[in-house]
């Protein structure tokens, strides 16, 4: 039924590969936010040639934004012949550092054995390229389409999205009536639809002590030992309790269907770096611990925080001289788009047609820019769908399969057809 549309995508397979490789060649490493401007300008120029109106929005004053590393986002919009819904494809253009262990140049955009290699190949320049090709194919076959298509390349997703989607959402770029449906082509595999993510609470806990000479610790009060008591209570009570909480959310991988907490860091006492040569023996008067708690749709944030503060309060009552402070660093509520939401149904239809089976619905263990689309933009008709194998993201020798990208672009093109023209063929 969508034969012409699918053929139009196939005709562009070489172009899809070339576009992916070109995008990889911009080393948009974050932090610090390298090469954002040329990458955004390249994407903008490409879309402008197709008839999109393009805008470049610098997120001034957001974390990391400097004249050397400006946070440049591009938003492109193509209006159809008549009024109708707007489908927005949002991709982040930033990538994480290459790291060690590569056998190919991470920024060369090497094409080999049916794959495109490079940092960001799967996360998520391959997905971005697939969405551009899907839009191109759709426009060619249905030049009179109603509504609008938007494609954005945004920055800083890997560091929280504050200079990217969050900034644009605050400016109204992700709100009705401008935008109705959002697809984020993150690498969740070509036949899966990601409906949302678990919640996050980051906090810093500080225990207090009293400084004294290290040879007479009884004269002071050791903040690191107090933190040891906190960790012991976490081991004895909190971790087993979290492990008993299981969600109905279809989180992948399976292990993330439970509540989890990571200890991100612990610091206290004198420096480990003796190179300056002047360590002095003291009883540490502070110790800080950062926790990363991931929670489930079934949990509310007040309870999540209460589990930790309850332990700290009890230690304060029971342990001599124990005192603490706790500071929130970040909180994001869990999100799950309904399976009967329009964007979910449209993309599911595409997956059905291309792979002849129903999609697998998943939830991401960690958050991504959907949180800003929902919480700031108030658009809940949003999913992540894109080519690439999630496990390869952030790894050495990252790659994206060419056939996977082509099939994903077909699914996206069918999704556009359903959402904009209300038809399956």
Active-site annotation, residues: 94, 157
Within 13 A of 228's CA, how many CA atoms are on the CB side?
6
Q: What value does the CA radius of gyration of the chain take, rounded to a whole number of Å?
A: 24
In the 8-state DSSP scheme, what is residue 359? P
> Taking CB positions, which residue lies at the least distance from Zn ion?
123
Count of residues binding Zn ion (CB under 5 A)? 3
* Cβ pair 28, 95 in contact under 8 A: yes
DSSP letters spanning 365-394: SS--THHHHHHTT----EEE--SS-GGGTT
Q: Is 369 in the site for Zn ion (CB under 5 A)?
A: no
For 208-223, give the secondary structure using H, E and C. Answer: ECECCECCCHHHCECH
Q: Which residues contact 406 (CB under 8 A, 6 or more apart)?
A: 9, 10, 13, 16, 130
Q: Is 123 in the site for Zn ion (CB under 5 A)?
A: yes
Closest contact distance (angstroms) between CB of 225 and Zn ion is 41
H or E stretch including 261?
Answer: strand 260-268
Kindly tell me which of 186 and 398 has the beta carbon lying closer to Zn ion.
Answer: 186
Site for Zn ion in 132-191 (CB under 5 A): 186
Q: Is 124 in the site for Zn ion (CB under 5 A)?
A: yes
In the 8-state DSSP scheme, what is residue 95? B
Closest contact distance (angstroms) between CB of 96 and Zn ion is 9
Distance CA 391, CA 94 (A): 18
- From the list 123-131, 176-184, 328-336, 373-381, the region that binds Zn ion by CB under 5 A is 123-131
Kindly tell me which of 96 and 224 has the beta carbon lying closer to Zn ion.
Answer: 96
Distance CA 265, CA 267 (A): 7
Instruction: Provide the 10 A C-beta neighbour count for residue 67.
Output: 5
Closest contact distance (angstroms) between CB of 155 and Zn ion is 12
Closest contact distance (angstroms) between CB of 256 and Zn ion is 17
Closest contact distance (angstroms) between CB of 138 and Zn ion is 24
- From the list 118-126, 191-199, 312-320, 373-381, the region that binds Zn ion by CB under 5 A is 118-126
Kindly tell me which of 194 and 344 has the beta carbon lying closer to Zn ion.
Answer: 194
Closest contact distance (angstroms) between CB of 339 and Zn ion is 23
Cα angle value 365/186/72 (rounded, 5°)? 115
Residues forming the site for Zn ion (CB under 5 A): 123-124, 186
């Amino acid at each position: 039924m969508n034969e012409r549309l699918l053929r139009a995508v196939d005709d562009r397979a070489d172009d899809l590969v070339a576009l992916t490789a070109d995008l990889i060649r911009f080393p948009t490493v974050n932090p610090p936010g390298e090469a954002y401007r040329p990458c955004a300008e390249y994407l903008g120029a490409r879309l402008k040639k197709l008839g999109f109106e393009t805008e470049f929005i610098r997120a001034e004053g957001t974390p990391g934004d400097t004249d050397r590393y400006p946070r440049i986002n591009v938003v492109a919009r193509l209006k159809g012949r008549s009024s109708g819904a707007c489908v927005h494809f949002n991709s982040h253009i930033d990538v994480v550092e290459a790291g060690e262990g590569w056998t190919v140049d991470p920024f060369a955009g090497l094409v080999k054995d049916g794959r495109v290699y490079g940092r960001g190949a799967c996360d998520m320049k391959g997905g971005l390229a697939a969405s551009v090709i899907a839009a191109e194919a759709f426009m060619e076959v249905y030049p009179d389409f109603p509504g609008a298509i938007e494609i954005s390349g945004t920055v800083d997703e890997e560091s929280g999205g504050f200079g990217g989607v969050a900034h644009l959402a605050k400016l109204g770029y992700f709100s009705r009536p401008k935008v109705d449906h959002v697809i984020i082509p993150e690498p969740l595999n070509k036949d899966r639809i990601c409906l949302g993510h678990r919640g996050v609470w980051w906090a810093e806990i500080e225990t207090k002590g009293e400084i004294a000479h290290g040879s007479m610790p009884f004269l002071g009060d050791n903040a690191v030992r107090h933190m040891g008591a906190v960790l012991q209570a976490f081991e004895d009570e909190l971790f087993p309790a979290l492990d008993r909480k299981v969600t109905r959310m279809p989180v992948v991988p399976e292990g993330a269907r439970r509540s989890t907490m990571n200890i991100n860091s612990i610091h206290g006492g004198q420096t480990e770096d003796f190179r300056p040569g002047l360590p002095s023996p003291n009883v540490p008067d502070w110790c800080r611990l950062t926790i990363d708690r991931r929670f489930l749709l079934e949990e509310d944030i007040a309870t999540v925080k209460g589990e930790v503060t309850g332990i700290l309060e009890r230690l304060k009552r029971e342990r001599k001289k124990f005192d603490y402070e706790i500071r929130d660093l970040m909180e994001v509520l869990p999100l799950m788009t309904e399976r009967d939401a329009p964007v979910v149904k449209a993309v599911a239809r595409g997956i059905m047609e291309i792979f002849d089976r129903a999609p697998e619905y998943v939830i991401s263990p960690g958050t991504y820019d959907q949180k800003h689309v929902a919480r700031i933009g108030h658009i809940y008709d949003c999913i992540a769908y894109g080519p690439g194998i999630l496990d390869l993201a952030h790894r050495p020798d990252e790659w994206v399969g060419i056939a996977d990208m082509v099939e994903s672009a077909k699914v996206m093109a069918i999704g556009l057809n359903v959402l904009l023209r209300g038809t399956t063929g």
